[in-house]
Amino acid sequence: MSIESLTKAVRNIPDFPIDGIQFKDITPLFQSPENLKEMSEIIYDRFKDKGITKVVGIESRGFFMGPAVAIKLNAGFVPIRKEGKLPYDIIEEKYTKEYGEDVIQIHSDSLSENDVVLLHDDLLATGGTMLAAYNLVKKIGVKKIYINFLIELVDLKGREHFNADVEIDTLLQFDN
């Protein structure tokens, strides 16, 4: 297994969900136990010495690998959900997407000032959702935040929305 074999497992779907979009379908990555193991090992190796105490996954695809990585890192897992999905006291962040405003939320007691957080999601495209998640976690005042994606669409320049001191890691990179 290698980054090259993982890259080959990502399926390109032209014109989905609308014309002109080249959708990167990650479901084939999860159908193979070898791919799952390889992805979790790579992420673990990259973050094992960072002192991660919580992996925070963004709904819904951040829930695919987030818990597996949390187990390997001996860390807890915290979901960031879309508005109205969490049953307890929440903190929220509003952000603008290409087609309007959206809101993400986290339980107010899910992180503490002593936590070292790995924010995880499947895809870095324009960066809007992750930037909102980053700002949401930052509101809580954790010790450190790292960011990880399975895939980055390099041409969309999502990294440019983050300050230079934010550490962003991706497993696979594609041109759009």
100 strand-pairing partners: 97
Closest CA to 9 of 123, 172, 176: 172
Q: Which pLDDT score is estimated for 100?
A: 79
Residues of the chain where predicted confidence (pLDDT) is lower than 50: none
Provide the residue type at 83 as one letter: E
> Residue 129 and residue 58: Cα distance in Å, rounded?
8
**Active-site annotation, residues:** 61, 98
**Number of neighbouring beta carbons within 10 Å of residue 60:** 13
Do 72 and 44 contact (CB within 8 A), yes or no? yes
pLDDT (tens digit per residue) in 44-65: 999 999 999 999 999 999 999 9
Domains, in order of start, for the chain: 50-174 (3.40.50.2020)
Q: Which pLDDT score is estimated for 20?
A: 87
Beta strands across the sheet bearing 54-58? 90-97, 100-107, 76-82, 54-58, 116-124, 144-153, 167-174
Q: Which pLDDT score is estimated for 105?
A: 98
Q: Which pLDDT score is estimated for 1?
A: 61
Do 146 and 111 contact (CB within 8 A), yes or no? no
Those residues whose C-beta lies under 8 Å from the C-beta of residue 11, and which sit 6 or more positions away, are 24, 25, 27, 28
